[in-house]
Structure 1
């Protein structure tokens, strides 16, 4: 009898919808992390949403339908925002700008009233710099530039140097 009671009490608390997604981007870029579920409806009621990074860093909050950065971790200052355009339809998208390698990790969007948790695994890759080569040109034409060296850096991505 106690087993049935224990199971029956757990079922309502497990009702929360949980979704997971993996996205990749490059440092310096911007990305939009999704948080969407049919249970998330604004319908004129105050909306509360919490975005967290690795369960500890406060990225962004919406408290009673108002944006709140009061307790936001300093690493996200001026780099995180929730896009308002689709909030009415239950799309709570977090835009992160100027991605850093330290942004890699799990982002959790939690909507308490709808009992929705949506996690996104973000992998920020290091931006690879283009390969360069150095070319030395010596001027032999005029007295003022004689003996000076000009260093030109040209990306190896296909730029052609014409010498006349």
Structure 2
């Protein structure tokens, strides 16, 4: 839902903005990973002292600023602290991309790069997904837990079956032994009784 709203917002900005929006891209990232948010000017040569760039998240949140060719985090939103990298050696060639690190779900949304000195504007839609490794690991843990449960149930069933067979054999043996004992006792006692009658 949030991603859909961000996408619609980006489209509306494209339609209604007065800036020269010449680029809109969608970037996919994963939780805990890094992504490059691209921003490049159509002009290929820039003077460092003229370069002024503003990166914003969802229209208003300051992500990174570049003033006169130098990076500035003075107005940076605290949640982006130590999460952004810039590439100053590319500024003169018109590349003002930034790298966003340690991605979390709330990093998803529309990032806008305002190239103030040339009047250009770039939109980047960032989608943040679970990493495939995390999914596989999660699936692996569940699978491992399932295997442990199945093994436990199997062992318990085998134990119950063995116990039942043991009890059955014991009862059968006990019953057989008693009946044989009764037979032998009755055989032993019978002549004694006959002697008494004589």
* Superposed pair shares fold, TM > 0.5: yes
Residues 22 and 122 of structure 1 are in contact (CA less than 8 Å); yes or no, is this contact kept in structure 2? Answer: yes
Gaps of 5+ in 2: 1-16, 152-198
- Residues in 2 aligned to 1:111 and 1:37: alpha-carbon distance in whole angstroms: 8
1:1-164 map, 5 Å: 14=18, 16-39=20-43, 41-127=45-131, 128-129=134-135, 130=137, 131-132=140-141, 133-134=144-145, 135=148
Structure with higher helix content: 2
Report the number of matched residues: 125
1:56-95 per-residue CA deviation (whole Å, 9 max, x = no partner) reads: 2100000122211011001100001222232121011110
Secondary structure of the 1:45 match is helix
Q: Is the 8 A contact 1:17 1:115 kept in 2?
A: no
Larger Rg: 2
- Structure with bigger strand share is 1
- How high is the TM-score relative to the length of structure 1? 0.69
Residue 79 of structure 2 aligns to a residue whose secondary structure is: helix
Q: Tell me the C-alpha RMSD between the 2 structures.
A: 2.2
Structure 1 outlier segments of 4+, above 3 Å? 134-137
How far the C-alpha of 1:113 sits from its partner, in A, is: 1.2
Contact 2:41 2:115 in 1 (8 A): no
Q: TM-score, normalised by structure 2?
A: 0.58
Gaps of 5+ in 1: 1-12, 138-164
